[in-house]
Amino acid sequence: MTNRPADCIFCKIIERQIPADILFEDDDLLAFRDIHPQAPFHALIIPKKHISTVNDIAEADAPLIGKMALRAQALAAEQGITESGFRLVMNCNQEGGQTVYHIHMHVLGGRQLKPGLG
Ligand code: 5GP
Ligand code: ZN
């Protein structure tokens, strides 16, 4: 299927080699709870295809990235935070604060998040 770097934690979660609290799965995406939640609800949405950084997203990946946003919308609805609000974040490379090099969308909600983005 996809080229999976042997040392990618999120590929290991996809392959069930390490456990995660999985919230959603289909052919393209996996969503699971962040191990160090920064808010009452903190999920990560990842593509099953290994893409290292936002810089590596190709034109052909556009539908996949769109599905990530739609899944965030659906997870927020399940959590009852559609109207109260939530935040989506994708960090890229060192100065963006990326620590896991398999793209992921953070979905944060369930409390008043601080204004500003650091
Ligand atoms: P980044 O800093 O790259 O934007 O976000 C990586 C996120 O992955 C962090 O919020 C971190 O807590 C989370 N994370 C790292 N390792 C694991 C893991 O093994 N399991 C889960 N569920 N989350 C992880
Ligand atoms: Zn990976």
Query: Region 11-17: what's the mean pLDDT?
Result: 98
User: Is there a domain that residue 95 lies in?
Assistant: yes
- At 24, is the pLDDT very low, low, confident or very high (cuts 50, 70, 90)? very high
Cα separation, 75 vs 90, whole angstroms: 16
DSSP conformation letters of 11-65: HHHHTTSS---EEEE-SSEEEEE-SS-SSSEEEEEEESS---SGGG--GGGHHHH
User: Is there a domain that residue 2 lies in?
Assistant: no
For the chain, what is the domain count?
Answer: 1
Which ligand is nearest the CA of 88, by number? 1
Which ligand is nearest the CA of 52, by number? 2
User: Is there a domain that residue 114 lies in?
Assistant: no
Q: Which residues line ligand 1 (CB under 6 A)?
A: 9, 18, 20, 32-36, 44, 91, 97-100
Give pTM, 2 decimals. Answer: 0.97
- At 2, is the pLDDT very low, low, confident or very high (cuts 50, 70, 90)? low
User: Is there a domain that residue 54 lies in?
Assistant: yes
How does pLDDT run across 88-107, given as a tens digit for each residue?
Answer: 999 999 999 999 999 999 99
Structural domain including 57 reads 9-109
Closest CA to 43 of 90, 87, 106, 98: 106
Cα separation, 36 vs 34, whole angstroms: 5
User: Is there a domain that residue 24 lies in?
Assistant: yes
CATH number at residue 65: 3.30.428.10
Q: Catalytic positions, please?
A: 104
